Chain A
Amino acid sequence: MSTQRIVFVGVGGQGNLLASNLLGQAALAAGQHVVVSEIHGMAQRGGVVESAVILGDATSPIVSNGEADVLVSFEPVEALRLLNKVNKHSLVITNTRPLPPFTVAIGAASYPAPEESVAFLKKKLDKVIAFDGQALAEEAKNPLSLNMVMLGALFGAVDLPIDVKTMKKIIRTQTKKRFAAANVLAFDLGYKAAA
């Protein structure tokens, strides 16, 4: 089969690494070859967090510039920041709820309006899916489940070699028990938003 390169980007605390890890586990459970990579370290102090899931024959753990098939962004300006990862034919899925960094708070930088960011994405790419994923996480009664919303959106929008049942089973068994139901609901809401 061909290779699918999926890059996740978000901000420290948004659960990006959990999303890519769960997707990797679902891929393994579905009998697919998978490599996941993460950048730890300084990222946990509110910085940008990036991870990649590579499905298919490739063994390289990272995705070069221009070579991501899908970019899943948990925050609108982070989609812009990682835009060098994608090409014209890539799909970008982004949450539109802003999470301005402190450089904006102290007036050292300005924050582009989310509509402006999404408009730029749409101008440059064939396929863009943008929606308020945070609102769906809140609807699922777990504001921290944005990562599950975005994972759901990925499944809704992309034909992956992993069936939804397997993914949900992994979410149910591998996330904290008291959040499991909300997480699956968040996944479903994200799926519908992108399907």
Chain B
Amino acid sequence: MDVLLTPSGGKEHLLLGNEAIVRGALEAGMAFATCYPGTPSSEVPDTLYRLRKQFPNKVKYYFEYSTNEKVALECAAGAAASGVRTLCTMKHVGVNVAADPLMTLAYVGVNAGMVILTADDPSLFSSQNEQDNRYYARLSGLPMLEPCGPAEAKEMTSYCFELSEELGSPVMIRTTTRVNHAREAVPFVKLGKVKQTSKFVKNPMRYVTVPAVSRNLHLRLLNLYNQAQAISEKSPYNQIVGKGKLGVITSGVAANYVLDAVGDLGAKSKIKVLKLGFTYPLPEKKIARFLGSVDKVLIVEELEPILEEAVKAIAQEKGISVEIVGKVPGKVPAKSVDIEAPNFFSRAFEYNPRLVREVIAKTFGLEFNEPAEISLAGMPTPPGRPPNLCPGCPHRATYFVVKEVAGDEAIYPTDIGCYTLGVLPPIKAADFLICMGSSVSSSGGISRATGQKVVSFIGDSTFFHSGITGLVNAVHNNHNFTLVVLDNGTTAMTGHQPHPGVNTEAIGDITTHIPLEPLIKGLGVKHVVTIKPFKVRAAKKAIEEAIAFEGVSVVISQELCPLFARRVAPTTKRVFQVVEDKCKGHLDCIKKVACPAMFVENGQARINPLQCIGCALCAQICPENAILPVKAKG
């Protein structure tokens, strides 16, 4: 039995923030959950999926990986409007995809608790931007809570279901990577009862957002602000810690850095902290009282100065003249955080304990000790260790073949997935990427505007997520480019989640498999071909033809992700070796594809037999035919 399904409460368990969110939802009796996976949110849906699969008789909720975040939110909205408790999870940029339903769902509201998780990623550990989704609460008018760690994440998730029902409105819970991916002791309460089904009660004057209805719904939403604001004033999640005439206002994970700093600085009797967890609407009166009780206030929040501006506005409105400081206005870190962490509060990158301690000390004129740092001068330079496509990854083969045909001159819009690693040398087949699905649509723009040869790449999951509409557009508007769908049969990057193109039988799911080729043909693409990327010669011919085709052509490059295959369809292939007598040291095999199983020794290529999985790509590249399978023993 999994600890997350423990029926009783009382004990503490070490949980990942994302597991804590799952437990919180289960304690609230969640009956319905939808998502699109994405770091740092993925372990929430992955845990829900795993529990349902492992314990079908214990688990009482419906769960799905939806095709994208907009679909996930709309599906969840339908369930919550029908009266079952619903969770919908996504990463921060996923909310952009779901923003359209979000804005009007806020008008319509729900009939049972609905919680929307937005998992933000300050410092961009695995994202294309570090947008601050606290703005979405303000944009949509939905209440938002921000936990500071796993234990609070569990408690708040449960509470958000209650709050959502009290207000008849979805509630957002906003985490950051350091909350999602931290572990701490989480106290359990007992699992909640699950109301699994309900009945949709017709009420078009509420649910059908024609202008006449929405005008009223907007007034409802504005009144909701007042109601939620009153709850926020009294919320135990907005609490004052410590005492003193110096004030700090903080929220989210930064609250930990502040509280640790106050202790480390020995300033518990000097600094009073207003720790905010219910952050939209803000507890304006509580903040005003706090401002009135201190001589100076420092705002500690990662990313945008949202609290800072709100607190300044409250001070202005109430005529409180206390000095309020936070971000250094207009100052931007000179270097990226992976080179040097900033030493002041800026709008870029996550904070850390030392930064917060030093800024608090400097702001309030307190003494602080800097650690005895060591000089790194003269250090042997560590070689770069960027993430790389795995040995035997079919993307490497596809990239090799496409580059052989289209060279460095073609423009390669790409998309989001493992294959984005194709940006690295020696592959270098990634020229433009802004979001999920942008490969397909931007290809039309680039080829129309320039007449240059365009070959774009998209993964199978990403194609289902947001590539289809772009492809319809390209066909309809007579664009001219080749789209390569890298079909590895799974959502590899985020941890092998299923998607509509997955062979559902192989993984034992009862969902329906939608094959790519008939779908793409059905969209009106005139030239569609499916290739096996490890059959280099045939693949090359097919890609030449596709690229020569005038108009939109699609190549489906089909081969299972080897990590996924190892689980669902294990096969053993003979590994390869370099025949030393034959290898003349061209090193094409290494220079062109950089498989991590290969290395150079005495000017010759070598293959690490523990890493090779026998894909045979290098053997087909070698001009001397010096790479052969290791003979079977005996």
Contacts and interface: CB of A to CB of B under 8 A. Distances in A.
Contact of B380 (A11, A35, A57, A117): A117
Contacts of B380: 77, 80, 112, 116-117, 120
Task: Tell which of B181, B374, B418, B591 has the most Cβ of chain A within 10 Å.
Answer: B374
A121 to B, nearest CB: 9
Contacts of B388: 45-47, 101-102
A57 B264 CA distance: 10
A46 B390 contact: yes
Contacts of A59: 148-149, 256, 259-260
A83 B382 CA distance: 11
Task: Tell which of A61, A64, A111 has the most Cβ of chain B within 10 Å.
Answer: A61
A81 interface: yes
Contact of A28 (B179, B185, B257, B341): B185
Interface in A1-44: 11-12, 21, 24-25, 28, 33-44
A100 B383 contact: yes
B256 A103 contact: no
Contacts of A105: 590, 594, 596, 598-600
Interface size class of B (residues with CB under 8 A): 35 or more
Contacts of B253: 61
A175 interface: no
A12 B260 CA distance: 31
Contact of B374 (A81, A86, A106): A86
Contact of A60 (B125, B260, B370, B375): B260
Contacts of B426: 106
Contacts of A101: 383-386, 388
Given A39-B125, A45-B418, A62 B382 contact: no
Contact of B383 (A58, A86, A111): A111
Given A61-B253, A87-B372, A43 B383 contact: no
Nearest to B126: A41
Contact of B354 (A25, A67, A102): A67
A50 B548 CA distance: 46
Contacts of B40: 40-41
A63 B352 CA distance: 7
A67 B39 CA distance: 27
A66 B390 contact: no
B450 interface: no
A12 B382 CA distance: 16
Interface in B373-412: 373-376, 378-390
B181 A103 contact: no
A44 to B, nearest CB: 8
Contacts of B178: 37, 61-62
Contact of B389 (A39, A43, A45, A125): A45
A44 B39 CA distance: 12
Contacts of A40: 39-40, 125-126, 181
Given A87-B373, A105-B590, A106-B426, A35 B182 contact: yes
B346 to A, nearest CB: 16
Contacts of A112: 380-382
B515 interface: no
B385 A46 contact: yes
A46 B12 contact: no
A120 B378 contact: yes
Nearest to A114: B380
B149 A35 contact: yes
A44 B555 CA distance: 28
Interface string B2-29: 0000000000111010000000000000
Interface in B128-184: 148-149, 177-179, 181-184
A11 B383 CA distance: 13
B524 interface: no
A170 B302 CA distance: 36
Nearest to A43: B387
A107 B600 contact: yes
Given A35-B183, A48-B385, A60 B353 contact: yes
B390 A28 contact: no
Contacts of B596: 46, 102, 105
B379 A120 contact: yes
B371 interface: yes
- Residues of A contacting B: mostly: mixed
Nearest to B591: A106
B426 to A, nearest CB: 7
B383 A109 contact: yes
A48 B385 CA distance: 7
Contact of B379 (A11, A45, A46, A80): A80
Nearest to A78: B382
B266 interface: no
A120 B372 CA distance: 17
A87 B369 CA distance: 13
A78 B600 CA distance: 22
A28 B12 CA distance: 9
A128 to B, nearest CB: 12
Contacts of A87: 371-374
A107 B599 CA distance: 9
Contacts of A33: 185
A38 B126 CA distance: 13
Contact of B184 (A34, A42, A77): A34
A40 B178 CA distance: 11
B387 A46 contact: yes
Given A77-B383, A81-B382, A36 B372 contact: no
Nearest to A46: B388
A66 B370 contact: yes
Interface string B578-615: 00000000000011001110111000000000000000
A117 B382 CA distance: 9
A46 B388 CA distance: 6
A102 B418 contact: no
B336 to A, nearest CB: 15
B594 A106 contact: yes
A71 B421 CA distance: 29
B425 interface: yes
B355 interface: yes
Contact of A41 (B125, B352, B384, B590): B125
Nearest to A47: B387
Nearest to A117: B380
Contacts of A117: 380
B318 to A, nearest CB: 32
Nearest to B601: A105
Interface string B323-356: 0000000000000000001000000000011110
B353 A67 contact: yes
Given A41-B126, A87-B372, A88-B373, 6 more contacts: A28-B14, A39-B125, A46-B387, A48-B385, A101-B388, A106-B590
15 contacts: A24-B183, A28-B12, A45-B387, A45-B389, A61-B149, A65-B354, A67-B353, A78-B382, A88-B373, A102-B388, A102-B595, A105-B596, A107-B590, A108-B425, A116-B380
Interface of A: 11-12, 21, 24-25, 28, 33-48, 57-67, 77-78, 80-81, 83-84, 86-89, 100-112, 116-117, 120, 124-125
Interface of B: 12-14, 16, 39-40, 125-126, 148-149, 177-179, 181-185, 253, 256-257, 259-260, 263, 341, 352-355, 370-376, 378-390, 418, 421, 425-426, 590-591, 594-596, 598-600
